[in-house]
Structure 1
Amino acid sequence: MSAIQLSSPIVSTEWLAENIHHPDLVVLDASWFLPNTPRYAVQEWKEKRIPNAQYFDFDKKIADPESELPHMLPSEALFSQSVEELGISASSVVIVYDSQGIFSAPRVWWMFRAMGHQQVAVLDGGLPAWEAKGYELQSGEPAPIDKGTFSATLLPEWVIDADTLNSKLEAPQTQVFDARPAARFYGTQPEPRQGVRSGHMPGAKSLPFGQLLEDGHFLPVEQLTQRFDALSDVDEQHIFSCGSGVTACILALAAEMAGRKKLTVYDGSWTEWGSKLKYPVV
């Protein structure tokens, strides 16, 4: 069987259906729900998933266990060990989806890119689109899988910490984008987490993630390009933030589709920035 190569950071349900039995392909369910949402992603994965999909838990398992912040990027060693247990090797083509269409899957796409793995893409439309096309679904306990061989190498340009970001707020050729709803960006709606200030970073631009989606799919590339062209130059460094580092990755993925090359996610996002008084808030 010939090798498969990804030509885009997203794939269609038709592409996945054609390639789902390829030995190099690994499918991951990255579903995650906001705190206080009465849904349980692991249970839903066991009840209904794309065939042979493994569950990728970036919230509890594949996250920095030492951080007080939610689902922070883990060490290279923890990431490598975790994805090996999911059957992923350096040669694997990884396709990530979630059960809301496009919500949490881009977070896992970004994690793999930050850890040096290029062959990763998100299923456009996610599980709802797969199910709507009538493709096969699987349920019950997953079958055992062979362990992979993976060695992560963190690419520092993909991630930024709060202190470094604070030093770059007025830097030329740098633009911060905030994926939260506009009301939270402008401080007219309180933050859902206790002790977190309202508002936004000086110089940041509001780009709510929902403006890049329609019916659980990304907008066409031409429209995504128009959205970013209206807010930034293509050669600028694009830094993405949100509430806790999940929907910022939707912006990062859309920006790559729109031809942007310098993409960075602020992992701590507003949960960190808004709770620490040393960082400026507008």
Structure 2
Amino acid sequence: MISPVNNIVSAAWLHQQLSDAMLSASIVVLDASAFMPDVPRDPQQEFINIRIPTARFFDFNHQIAAPNTDLPHMLPSADLFTREVSKLGVNNTSHVVIYDSQGMFSAPRGWWMFKAMGHDNVSVLDGGLPAWLAAGYATQTGLPTVNTIGDFCAKYRSDWVIDADSLCQKLDDSHIQIIDARPTARFLATVKEPRVGLRSGHMPNAKSLPFGELLTDGHFLPVAKLKQKFDALSNNDQRLIFSCGSGVTACILALAAQVSGRDNVTVYDGSWTEWGANEKYPVVK
């Protein structure tokens, strides 16, 4: 079983690490806050207004994303990821700790990106910035200064990612289980998709696990309860493939699955934004 300590850390743990000059040297804190398209908030401005000390902004919506695609925040090439992450001062030996301003929403996307790029020493701050503030720990304002370029070198791992055509060929494969993180009403097509032009429904043989069912007040449920959620939908031998609206909340499920002991997890990066827009991919209502 994968130790949850490798993937999730508490605000108290991070505060202790940053308070120790020896320990903090190996920690790189990244704010990966992002919001749904219809939410009128600017994550980078909010980062400037208030952030965890030493944090840098991890912009997976624009800066650390594949260019020349109509799909939002797609995983970039290893070369682009290497270049942009090195600018944030990340080394191959760094322990990367990622958080977001909502507690547990977009930070897992950053975690998954690092995993897909071969960096296992990455954790998500459980409860995110709200947990840090609730504990009364110090914050900083303004843009941080990164004095050195890191030596990070991405090593792409294809088992963490799947594209639409590959997934379409596996819809009837009993060795995999597709799990959809969208709200139940969207999965069942009882409401329209928020993005214009997308069909409603879900992939054949997919199962529904809305990401909010894994959380309470921005924190993950206890490990035993997370395990129950995944055991109810799949068996331990299956490869779990996660999808959502655009590839963000699917990563919450991927992280929760790892925390609960499932190590064979994959994210469908294009998610419903891609699948629901293309008539060649089957949809069930």
TM-score range, shorter chain: over 0.9
Equivalents in 1 of 2:165, 2:221: separation in Å? 33
Deviations 1:221-245 (A, max 9, x none): 0000011111100120000000000
Coordinate RMSD, CA, aligned: 1.1
Picking from 237, 242, 245, the partner of 2:247 is 245
Shift in Å, 1:8: 2.4
Equivalents in 2 of 1:6, 1:142: separation in Å? 30
Q: Is residue 4–residue 258 contact of structure 2 (8 Å, CA) maintained in 1? A: no
Equivalents in 1 of 2:5, 2:123: separation in Å? 9
Equivalents in 1 of 2:41, 2:61: separation in Å? 14
Q: TM-score scaled by structure 2?
A: 0.96
Task: Report the counterpart of residue 17 of structure 1 in structure 2.
Answer: 15
Equivalents in 2 of 1:199, 1:172: separation in Å? 21
Shift in Å, 1:167: 0.3
Deviations 1:79-125 (A, max 9, x none): 00000000001000000000000000000000000000010000000
Shift in Å, 1:261: 1.3
Equivalents in 2 of 1:272, 1:64: separation in Å? 15
Q: Which runs of 5+ in 1 are unaligned?
A: none
Deviations 1:115-160 (A, max 9, x none): 0001000000000000000001000232233110111111000000
Task: Report the counterpart of residue 272 of structure 2 in structure 1.
Answer: 270
Q: Is residue 109–residue 120 contact of structure 1 (8 Å, CA) maintained in 2? A: yes
Q: Is residue 4–residue 260 contact of structure 2 (8 Å, CA) maintained in 1? A: no
Picking from 234, 237, 256, the partner of 1:235 is 237
Deviations 1:185-234 (A, max 9, x none): 00001001111000000000000000000000000000000111111001
Q: Is residue 106–residue 122 contact of structure 1 (8 Å, CA) maintained in 2? A: yes
Task: Report the counterpart of residue 159 of structure 2 in structure 1.
Answer: 157
Shift in Å, 1:66: 1.7
Task: Report the counterpart of residue 256 of structure 1 in structure 2.
Answer: 258
Q: How many residues align?
A: 278
Equivalents in 2 of 1:49, 1:194: separation in Å? 34
Displacement over 4 Å in runs of 4+:
none
Equivalents in 2 of 1:53, 1:263: separation in Å? 28
Q: Is residue 6–residue 119 contact of structure 1 (8 Å, CA) maintained in 2? A: no
Equivalents in 1 of 2:274, 2:147: separation in Å? 37
Q: Is residue 86–residue 145 contact of structure 1 (8 Å, CA) maintained in 2? A: no
Equivalents in 2 of 1:110, 1:67: separation in Å? 20
SS at match of 2:252: helix
Equivalents in 2 of 1:186, 1:221: separation in Å? 28
Q: Is residue 31–residue 56 contact of structure 2 (8 Å, CA) maintained in 1? A: yes
Task: Report the counterpart of residue 144 of structure 2 in structure 1.
Answer: 142
Equivalents in 1 of 2:79, 2:72: separation in Å? 19
The aligned runs of 1:72-83 (5 Å cut-off) are 72-83=74-85
Equivalents in 2 of 1:88, 1:27: separation in Å? 9
1:143 partner amino acid:
T
Task: Report the counterpart of residue 31 of structure 1 in structure 2.
Answer: 33
Deviations 1:49-71 (A, max 9, x none): 00010000000110000221000
Q: Which runs of 5+ in 2 are unaligned?
A: none
Task: Report the counterpart of residue 69 of structure 2 in structure 1.
Answer: 67
Shift in Å, 1:6: 8.6
Shift in Å, 1:170: 0.3
Q: TM-score scaled by structure 1?
A: 0.97
Shift in Å, 1:276: 0.0
